Amino acid sequence: MIDPYVYPGTETLKNLFGERDEERLKAIEADYTGFRIRELMDFPVQGIYNLSHLCLIHQYIFQDIYEWAGSIRTINMEKPESVLGGLSIEYSDVSKIERHLHSALLQLCETDWQSLNITGKADNISRHMAEIWKVHPFREGNTRAVVTFCCDFADCNKFPLDRALFKENSAYVRTALVAASAVFQDLGDRAKPEYLIKVVQDAIECGQRKK
């Protein structure tokens, strides 16, 4: 399948810099998105935690890098994961992205967060985070957008997450999201959500200490 998001003959995503070296693009992307995410810590994108809100967050973070920042992907995706022995998470089909996201975000917003203790909050926010992430609505940048979205949501619901913990352990967080999302049509439920729950609970506890 031809990927319209990459330069022909390469694995490098088309970008506003015209950079065709994948490693250099990753370095540029890390610098610019890191700056934008820090801006959002002080001036979060306003919204009602729906699909449009998530898209606005993605657009803000990746506005300097990709013309399609904030736009839902138009192709189906697979990403081989070493922690799954080369299998890919079964991301949502493009025809179902909006429906799956609407369902996941509605459940997030309808949870009675104030009735939950720290353990309950960690269990629930990590589950919702994984469900949103598994949809994988964007061609790139899903982890950063979804984590930022969920951190903003937690702030709004008065159980702030320590964002520094996510940033300092970004590779672990993505691996934990993969592990929490490993449910397959043919192979069954291989999910291990405990890793994501642990990092989220740590982030809640750290966030409470900093209040």
The whole-number pLDDT of residue 150 equals: 98
Residue with tokens 């439920």: 189
The whole-number pLDDT of residue 208 equals: 86
**CA-closest candidate to residue 133, choices 105, 114, 111, 158:** 105
The whole-number pLDDT of residue 211 equals: 65
Domain ranges of the chain: 76-210
User: What sign does the dihedral 161-164-167-168 (CA atoms) show?
Assistant: negative
The whole-number pLDDT of residue 109 equals: 97
Question: Residues of 170-189 as b/e, b for ≥16 C-beta within 10 angstroms?
Answer: eeebbbbbbbbbbeeeeeee
Which string of DSSP letters, residue by residue, matches 130-167?
Answer: HHHHHH--SSS-HHHHHHHHHHHHHHHTT----HHHHH
The whole-number pLDDT of residue 209 equals: 83
The CATH code of the domain at 76-210 is: 1.10.3290.10
* Per-run averaged pLDDT (10 residues), the chain, 211 residues: 92 97 97 97 96 98 98 96 95 98 97 97 98 98 98 96 95 97 93 97 91 65
Q: Structure tokens of 32?
A: 């610019």
| Global pTM value | 0.96
